[in-house]
Structure 1
Amino acid sequence: MLEEKNLRLTSSEISVAWSCYQNNSFSICILKYFLANVDDPEIKSVLQFALDMSIQSFNSSKEILQNDNQPIPIGFTDEDVSPNAPRLFSDSYYLYYIKNMSKVGLSVYGVALSIAAHADVRKFLSLAILNSTNLYNKTTETLLSKGLFIRPPYVTTSNHVDFVDKKSYLGGILNLTKSNRPLNVVEITHIEANVEANSIGKVLMTGLAQVAKSKKVRDYCLKGKEIATKHVQVFTTMLTNDDIPSPMPWDLEVTDSAVSPFSDKLIMFHSSLIIASNISNYATASAASLRTDVSTSYVRLTTEVAQFAKNGVDLMIKNAWLEQPPQAPNHKELAKG
C-alpha cells in the first residue's frame, strides 16, 4: 500500500490548491490596502486576523502544489495593489465585507473538503474551515459590539407543526385570482441574505468604478452596480409585499478618491468572485424556495448575472488577465503527431 504522502493529487485536489492559491493571493492584496487605511483598532484587529489567515492558506496551498510538482500560478502580487492609495471605503464597510467573505470561505472550503482524499489537502481545508469560522465569529462580535450587525427580520410563527396539503402552497408566477401564501422562514432567510450580499456588492462596484483606470473596466463595474441595485429592489419587494421589514447595512460610505489602489486585472478578478458567489447563492436559494414565483425570480436573476459574468470573462481574456487553470492533455491533438 502506498504511503499517503507519495500519492499524486487528484484533479479535484489540484483544483482546490490552485484556486486557493489564486484567491488568497488576491485577498492578501485587498487586506493590505484595507489595513493601511483603517482607523478603528477593533476593526484593524479583525483585518489583521483575516490577513494572517490568508497568508497561511496561501503558503499551504503553494506547498501542496510544489509537493505534487504542479506549476505555481502567477496570481496577484504587490504590483497589483497600492496600499498607500487614499481611502476608498469606510471602516464599517470593511467589517461587512469581511463578514460576507468569511461566509463564502466557509461554503467553498466545506465543499472542497467533501471531495478531498489526500491527507495534506484535508488537513489544509479543515484548518481553513476552522479559521473561516473564527473569522466569521470575530467579525460578527465586532459588528454586534458596534451596533452594526444586520439581523434577519423577526416573524410570528404558528405554535403547531403542520404539513403541506395543497398544491396552492407552491403558488404561481401569474397568480391573478388569489394571493400567494406568505413567505416561509427558509425563503425569508435566503432573500434577506441576498439583500445584504447585493448591498455590499453595490458599494464595492461603486468604489471600483470610481478608480478603475480603463474605461471598459469602469463601465463594467457601473453595470455591476446597476444590476446589484436592481436585485436589492427585487428582493426587498418580496419581503415588503408580505409586510416583512428588509434590514439594510448602513454607514457603507464610498469616499471621493479617484486614485486606484488596485490593478484593473485585480478589479476584474474581484468582480468575477462576487458574481460567482451570487450565482451560487441564487442556485441554493432557488432550490430551497417552494413558492414558484420566488424560485422563478432566482432563475431569471441568475440568467442576468450569468450573462454579465460572460461579458467580464470576455474582457479579461481580451486583456490577458484570465489565468488558465490546469487542464487534462488533449489526447486527440497529441495523436495527430
Structure 2
Amino acid sequence: MESRIIRLTSAEISTLWTAYMNNSMASCVLSYFVEKAEDQEIKSVLEFALSVAKKNVNGAKVIFEGESYPIPKGFTEEDVNLKAKRLWADTLFLHYVDQMAKSGFAAYGMSVALSSRLDVREYFNDCLDLNQEINNKAKNIALSKGIHVRPPILSYPEKIDFVKEQSFLAGWFGDQKPLLASEIMHFFHNVQTNAIGKALIMGFSQVASSPDVRDYFKRGKEIAIKQIKVFHSILQNEDIPTPMTWDSEVMNSIEAPFSDKLMVYHIALLNIMGLGNYGMAISTSTRRDLIKEYMRLSGEIGLYAEDGANLMIKHGWMEEPPQAVDREKLSK
C-alpha cells in the first residue's frame, strides 16, 4: 500500500535510473564474456553475474512501470555482438567482475540509505545481497586458481601508540611519515581499478569504429598509464609491493564486441568510479602531499570525463538523466 501512495523521491528516481542504465550495460558486457569464456569455473561466475544484472534491470523496470515513469532505453542486444572474436582472456573477465562488484557495494549501499519507500529499499537491499554473492564467488575462484591479488601485508605493531607531533600531518617538506595502512589500501585499490580500466580501454581502442572515439580511448589509455605510474612510484618509495597489471590479457582482435555508444558509456562509468575512489582516498589521507596528488589526478580524470560527455552528446548517445522541471521555461 505504501508504494502506491508515496511518489518516488528525487533520490529514488536517480538511483533507480542509474541502476537500470548500468545493469543494462552490464547485461551486454557479461553476455559477451559468457559467450567467450572457456574456463568453466569462471564461466559459472559470469553466468551468475549476468542473471543478476538482468534481474536488476527488470526490478527497476517494474517500479518505473508502477509509477508510469518512462523506462530508460539503456543498452540492448543492438549494443553487443556475441559473434565478435575474443578481445580479452578469461582471467580478465574474472578480475573485471570482482572489481565491478567492489564498486557495487558503494553504489547500492548509498542507494539503500537514500531511499524512503519500502519497495525501493527492498530492491536495493536485494541488489546489495546479490552483489555480495558475486563478489564472494569471484574471489573464491580467483583464490582457488592462485590469481587473486592480495593487498600488501604489514608487520604487526608490538604495542599501541599515540601521535605526539604535528608533523604526522606533514608531507611536502622534511621527513615524511610512513604510509598508513588505510593509505596503502587506497593506493593498492586504485592501481587495480586503473589496471582493469587500462585493459578494457586498450581493447576498446582496437575495435572502435569512429575515429574520434578511438582517439578518445587512446588518450584514456595514456592517462591510466600515467596514474598507475604515480601510484607505483609512491608505493615503491615505501618499499611496498605493487599490484600487477593485465595488459597481457588483451587479445589482438579488431572486431568490435560492443557498440561505440556502450564503450564510451562504460568509460564514463569508470571515470565516475575513479573519482569516487579518489575522493574516498582523500578523506582518509593524512599527508598533504598525497592529498595534493589525488586532487591533481582527479582534475585530470574530470577533464577527460567532460570530453567523454561531449563526445556522447555529439553522437546523440547521451540519454538525458532525471532532472527537476525547468519552471522558468514553463512560465514563458
For the criterion TM > 0.5, the same-fold answer is yes
Alpha-carbon offset, residue 330 of structure 1: 1.1
Corresponding residue number in structure 2 for 1:235 = 231
1:203 aligned residue (179, 199, 205): 199
Q: Deviations over 1:174-210 (max 9, x none)?
A: x1xx331110101000000011111111111100000
* Aligned-residue identity in percent: 42
In 2: Cα distance, 1:57 partner to 1:131 partner: 10
One-letter code of the match for 1:16? T
Q: Deviations over 1:84-135 (max 9, x none)?
A: 1000000000011000000111110001110101111000000000000000
Corresponding residue number in structure 1 for 2:283 = 287
Label 1:209 to 1:250 Cα distance change in 2 as closer, same or farther (>3 A): closer
SS at match of 1:323: coil
Alpha-carbon offset, residue 252 of structure 1: 4.4
In the alignment, is residue 63 of structure 1 matched against residue 62 of structure 2? Answer: yes
Corresponding residue number in structure 2 for 1:318 = 314
In the alignment, is residue 183 of structure 1 matched against residue 182 of structure 2? Answer: no
Alpha-carbon offset, residue 161 of structure 1: 1.4
In the alignment, is residue 94 of structure 1 matched against residue 93 of structure 2? Answer: yes
Label 1:250 to 1:79 Cα distance change in 2 as closer, same or farther (>3 A): closer
Contact between 2:2 and 2:118, CA under 8 Å: does it hold in 1?
Answer: no
In 1: Cα distance, 2:284 partner to 2:43 partner: 37
Contact between 2:195 and 2:246, CA under 8 Å: does it hold in 1?
Answer: no
Q: Deviations over 1:46-104 (max 9, x none)?
A: 00000000010000000111111111111111111001100000000001100000011
In 1: Cα distance, 2:330 partner to 2:294 partner: 43
Contact between 1:148 and 1:250, CA under 8 Å: does it hold in 2?
Answer: no
Contact between 1:92 and 1:252, CA under 8 Å: does it hold in 2?
Answer: no
SS at match of 1:150: coil
SS at match of 2:8: coil
Q: Can you give the 5+ residue segments of structure 2 that lack an aligned partner in the other structure? A: none
Label 1:170 to 1:157 Cα distance change in 2 as closer, same or farther (>3 A): farther
In 2: Cα distance, 1:305 partner to 1:279 partner: 7
Alpha-carbon offset, residue 159 of structure 1: 1.6
Alpha-carbon offset, residue 248 of structure 1: 1.4
Q: Deviations over 1:137-189 (max 9, x none)?
A: 0000010011000001112142211222211111232x1xx331110101000
Map residues 10-49 of structure 1 onto 2, 5 A cutoff. 10-49=9-48
Contact between 1:93 and 1:251, CA under 8 Å: does it hold in 2?
Answer: no
Superposition misfits of 4+ residues, deviation over 4 angstroms: 249-252
In 1: Cα distance, 2:187 partner to 2:2 partner: 47
Contact between 1:169 and 1:181, CA under 8 Å: does it hold in 2?
Answer: yes
Contact between 1:38 and 1:44, CA under 8 Å: does it hold in 2?
Answer: yes
Map residues 136-147 of structure 1 onto 2, 5 A cutoff. 136-147=135-146
1:262 aligned residue (258, 264, 282): 258
Corresponding residue number in structure 1 for 2:49 = 50
Corresponding residue number in structure 2 for 1:220 = 216
Alpha-carbon offset, residue 250 of structure 1: 4.9
Q: Deviations over 1:220-271 (max 9, x none)?
A: 1111111111111100111110111112145741111100011110010001
In 2: Cα distance, 1:16 partner to 1:67 partner: 16
Contact between 1:201 and 1:274, CA under 8 Å: does it hold in 2?
Answer: yes
In 1: Cα distance, 2:104 partner to 2:317 partner: 23
Contact between 1:109 and 1:128, CA under 8 Å: does it hold in 2?
Answer: yes
Label 1:150 to 1:98 Cα distance change in 2 as closer, same or farther (>3 A): same
User: TM-score, normalising length from structure 2?
Assistant: 0.98
In 1: Cα distance, 2:20 partner to 2:154 partner: 42
**Which sits farther off after the overlay, 152-161 or 194-203?**
152-161
Corresponding residue number in structure 2 for 1:276 = 272
SS at match of 1:114: helix
SS at match of 1:164: coil
Contact between 2:204 and 2:217, CA under 8 Å: does it hold in 1?
Answer: yes
In the alignment, is residue 334 of structure 1 matched against residue 326 of structure 2? Answer: no
In the alignment, is residue 192 of structure 1 matched against residue 191 of structure 2? Answer: no
One-letter code of the match for 1:81? V
Q: Aligned-pair RMSD on alpha carbons?
A: 1.1
In 1: Cα distance, 2:231 partner to 2:201 partner: 19
User: TM-score, normalising length from structure 1?
Assistant: 0.96
Corresponding residue number in structure 1 for 2:81 = 82
Contact between 2:2 and 2:117, CA under 8 Å: does it hold in 1?
Answer: no
One-letter code of the match for 2:207? V
Q: Can you give the 5+ residue segments of structure 1 that lack an aligned partner in the other structure? A: none
SS at match of 2:243: coil
Corresponding residue number in structure 1 for 2:117 = 118
Corresponding residue number in structure 1 for 2:170 = 171
In 2: Cα distance, 1:210 partner to 1:179 partner: 45
